[in-house]
Amino acid sequence: MKSTSTTLGVGIMAVPERKMQVDRLLSRLALPLSQVVWDEGHEGHVFNWWRAVAVACIPAATHALILEDDAEPCQDFLAAVEKLIANYPERIISFFSVSKTPRDGTSQLSLLPHHGFGDVAVVYPVSLQQKLGKEFTDRDQELAIHPWNVAYGADELRMKLRPHLKMWCTYPSLVQHGSPISSTLGHRFARSLANPCLDANSSALALDWSQL
């Protein structure tokens, strides 16, 4: 496994109702308010996703980390993300999953094929994001007829655009979903939790990264 030179950009999707959660997230990750894009008009997840991507794709960025405003990361989360993208630069990696797939004998940390809810905290190669963005623009009229265009997430959009493109997730999750009982956008799954997941007081760097 070779490490690659990588640079991480971050974009946070947010609605005004969750400003307190956003403030906590920024403090925890030591990020400025400029990394946040606000969905003031509640236009929907997918539209806010591309705004967050634009913020994350700083000129030097090789990877874009997109976070929801209700993401609750463990300690040293960004350092763990940087470890993963250096070792797996071509992968889409989610840090939250509701999957309870067994680790098949691995002792602490593994990457598994991802199943569902990939938008809480996910990192993409910027080159892939740019390709998906062009496809989205080229097919926006076709995609607009689908109800998930507003009420669902960019994970569904990715599966529509590239149905065979694999996403991976960390096991355990490094980010918990801190959503309230009701979603501001009317999602059917207003509250989904990762289990297992590192809590806010646990360091991702305490995991045995040599397993990967």
For the chain, residues with pLDDT lower than 50 are: 105, 107, 148-151, 190
- CA distances 107 to 40, 102, 202, Å, are 44, 11, 17
Q: What is the 8-class DSSP label of residue 95?
A: S
Q: Count each helix (H run) and each strand (E run) in the chain, helices first.
A: 7, 9
CA distance 195 to 57: 31
Average pLDDT, the chain: 82
pLDDT in tens, 45-87: 777 888 999 999 999 999 999 999 999 999 999 999 999 999 9
Instruction: Determine what percent of the chain falls in helix, strand and coil, rounding each to the nearest 5.
Output: 35, 20, 45
Least Cα distance to 65 among 109, 111, 19, 25 occurs for 25
Could you tell me the two tokens for 66? Answer: 């997109």
Which pLDDT value is given to residue 107?
Answer: 46
Cα dihedral 34, 161, 113, 10 in deg (nearest 10): -10
Q: Which domains, from first to last, does the chain contain? A: 8-211 (3.90.550)
Is residue 57 within 8 Å of residue 109, measured between CB atoms?
no
- CA distances 38 to 48, 70, 165, Å, are 8, 13, 29
Which pLDDT value is given to residue 156?
Answer: 62
Which pLDDT value is given to residue 146?
Answer: 59
Which pLDDT value is given to residue 150?
Answer: 44
